A and B are shown apart, each in its own frame.
Chain A
Amino acid sequence: MKKKLSYIDSVHRSGTIWNLSVMVLLLAFPLTVAAIFGAAPDWGALAVGLIATAPMYWVVGVIETVTFVPMLGAGGSYLSFVTGNISNLKLPCAINALEQNGVSANSEEGEVISTIAIAVSSIVTTVIIIIGVICIVPLTPILEAPVLEPAFAQMLPALFGGLGVAFVSKNWKIAVAPVVLMLILFIFVPALNAGTVGIMVPVSALFTIGVARLLYKRGVL
């Protein structure tokens, strides 16, 4: 008799099928457009365009995968890497849900909670974008109103202010060193800005793990 798959195993199996299918479909989009409109890609320009873009984002993609998968859980990872907006939406949403429920991300309950939060967030995002696309004509002047611009420009600080208080205050012993280090780096290194914060996430995560390990070994935690 076939052995019944554990929940996690079945998440991995269906996640693999979904993600690879979405990947094939994503690649099919430009190829279908090319076929329907009878326009072959300009291969030379494609190579140049790819060389200018891909290597950096491939490296970032590998680092992001290694950094975010342990935080997102299994189901959350498969979904987040398809739907995107991980550090500015899916991950904060999952962290908040884990906090709210008081469950550890390592437990199966944690896995279930973060998957639910990320799935709901993905669905709501997709639906809101659909509504936005349908109503793009009446919405454009409202959403592009100059008065609203600063609000959306400052979304990340508004997000991480709230999340930071909730999380840092509960883990302040681990948090002091990385917060101080990141403040100093971002204030005094001009190259660190909105475009490079993604690269600093794994750096900061590794540093924090090192600090936490030290404190743990000394019995401070």
Chain B
Amino acid sequence: MEFHVNHPILFLLAGILIAVVLAQSVFFLVKALRRSRELGMDQTKIKKTIKTAALFTVAPAVSIVISVITLSKSLGIPLPWLRLSVVGSLSYEAIAASNAVSAMGLELGKISSLTAQQYVNITLVMTLSIMVGIWLVPVIGRKLQRGMTSLGKRDAKWADIFQNALFIGMISAFLGYVFCDFSRLWIPGDYAPTSGLVPVCVMAVSALVMLLCGLLLKKFKWNWVNDYALPISLVLGMAAAIPITAWLG
């Protein structure tokens, strides 16, 4: 059979895998929903949680579609579709693919059409290099969770603080990341000195929108705002990036 990167068989194989992963998500959703009823949790709140999660996911998911389009130019559609639906990310897949191809003495993007062997090599490097989380969670997940539970039994207040500290730690790292090009203001280079301020301003807009939502919630008791605050601040922040980049970038 003659190979090409958009061969129907590749679509079929990727499609089967993605269907399995989709089934896993549905399985866990149903399981958790059932448990929520057993625990007597407020089902209207659960419905709101679902709505917010779905809405919040739209913009990031569209950006993943853009990554699929970017990678599809050299790798065809099925492989990026599979890789970005399961585990991957644009930067990781691009690095893995280019490492796999350069090991064969070639350069990604300069190959007019991949051979089956090159394709198999790329796919193996991508798959094997990022496998860790999938099997490590079954191996150590239970122990880690048990550690958290016993922490909670020993000192419930500290366990809550510990959990919040983890979240804050992660958020702080990303807030720091927003400032990673700040030094462009005083280090000259092949960029506009103010371009490092673009992410900072975008973050500020998003933070302001969030604050405004909080105010509306408190002043006018618009409880629905609570459900949409994060998706709204995300989308407005992204929209603000367009004029801000034109101005400072």
Q: Which of A125-170 contact B (CB under 8 A)?
A: 125-130, 132-133, 136, 139-140, 143-144, 147-148, 150-168
Q: Which of B153-189 contact A (CB under 8 A)?
A: 156-183
Task: Check B192 for interface membership: any CB of A closer than 8 A.
Answer: no
> Which B residues touch A143, using CB under 8 A?
62, 65-66, 69
| Closest residue of B by beta carbon distance from A48 | B103
| Closest residue of B by beta carbon distance from A60 | B132
The answer to whether A117 and B141 have CB atoms under 8 Å apart is no
- Selected contact of A183 from candidates B95, B164, B179, B244, CB within 8 Å: B179
Task: Check B113 for interface membership: any CB of A closer than 8 A.
Answer: no
> Which A residues touch B58, using CB under 8 A?
124, 128
- Selected contact of B99 from candidates A49, A85, A186, CB within 8 Å: A49
The answer to whether A158 and B233 have CB atoms under 8 Å apart is yes
Task: Check B74 for interface membership: any CB of A closer than 8 A.
Answer: no
Q: Which of B26-57 contact A (CB under 8 A)?
A: 26-29, 31-33, 35-36, 38-39, 41, 45-46, 48-50, 52-54, 56-57
The answer to whether A204 and B238 have CB atoms under 8 Å apart is no
The answer to whether B136 and A85 have CB atoms under 8 Å apart is no
| Closest residue of B by beta carbon distance from A71 | B166
The answer to whether A129 and B68 have CB atoms under 8 Å apart is yes
- Selected contact of A53 from candidates B99, B210, B229, B237, CB within 8 Å: B99
CA distance A106 to B230 in the complex (A): 22
Task: Check B152 for interface membership: any CB of A closer than 8 A.
Answer: yes
The answer to whether A162 and B237 have CB atoms under 8 Å apart is yes
Given contacts A84-B87, A104-B160, A115-B28, contact A71 B167 (CB under 8 A): yes
Task: Check B226 for interface membership: any CB of A closer than 8 A.
Answer: yes
Shortest distance between the CB of A23 and any CB in chain B (Å): 5
| Closest residue of B by beta carbon distance from A59 | B132
CA distance A188 to B88 in the complex (A): 30
CA distance A118 to B27 in the complex (A): 12
Task: Check B3 for interface membership: any CB of A closer than 8 A.
Answer: yes
Shortest distance between the CB of B177 and any CB in chain A (Å): 4
> Which B residues touch A77, using CB under 8 A?
137, 141
- Selected contact of B178 from candidates A113, A126, A156, CB within 8 Å: A156
Given contacts A18-B27, A33-B10, A161-B210, contact A106 B99 (CB under 8 A): no
Given contacts A38-B116, A79-B24, A132-B65, contact A96 B52 (CB under 8 A): yes
Given contacts A29-B14, A151-B239, contact A70 B63 (CB under 8 A): no
CA distance A105 to B56 in the complex (A): 20
CA distance A88 to B67 in the complex (A): 14
Which among A144, A161, A167, A197 has the greatest number of chain B C-beta atoms within 10 A? A161
The answer to whether A183 and B175 have CB atoms under 8 Å apart is yes
> Which B residues touch A115, using CB under 8 A?
28-29, 31-32
> Which A residues touch B17, using CB under 8 A?
22, 25-26, 29
> Which A residues touch B59, using CB under 8 A?
155
The answer to whether B167 and A30 have CB atoms under 8 Å apart is no
> Which B residues touch A78, using CB under 8 A?
24, 28, 137-138, 141
The answer to whether B203 and A158 have CB atoms under 8 Å apart is yes
CA distance A106 to B123 in the complex (A): 38
> Which B residues touch A71, using CB under 8 A?
163, 166-167, 170
| Closest residue of B by beta carbon distance from A104 | B160
- Selected contact of A150 from candidates B24, B136, B148, B245, CB within 8 Å: B245
CA distance A92 to B21 in the complex (A): 21
Shortest distance between the CB of B16 and any CB in chain A (Å): 8
Given contacts A33-B10, A121-B56, A128-B58, contact A161 B170 (CB under 8 A): no
Task: Check B218 for interface membership: any CB of A closer than 8 A.
Answer: no
The answer to whether B145 and A74 have CB atoms under 8 Å apart is yes
Task: Check B220 for interface membership: any CB of A closer than 8 A.
Answer: no
Given contacts A79-B24, A194-B180, contact A156 B174 (CB under 8 A): yes
26 residue pairs A–B, Cβ–Cβ below 8 Å: A12-B142, A15-B137, A26-B134, A30-B123, A45-B100, A49-B103, A84-B84, A84-B86, A112-B35, A116-B33, A118-B53, A120-B29, A121-B56, A129-B64, A136-B69, A144-B66, A148-B242, A153-B245, A158-B237, A162-B230, A164-B175, A166-B210, A174-B168, A186-B178, A186-B179, A194-B91
Taking A159-B206, A185-B176 as known contacts, 7 extra A-B pairs with beta carbons closer than 8 A to each other, sorted by chain A number, are A14-B27, A22-B17, A32-B13, A125-B64, A163-B171, A194-B180, A209-B165
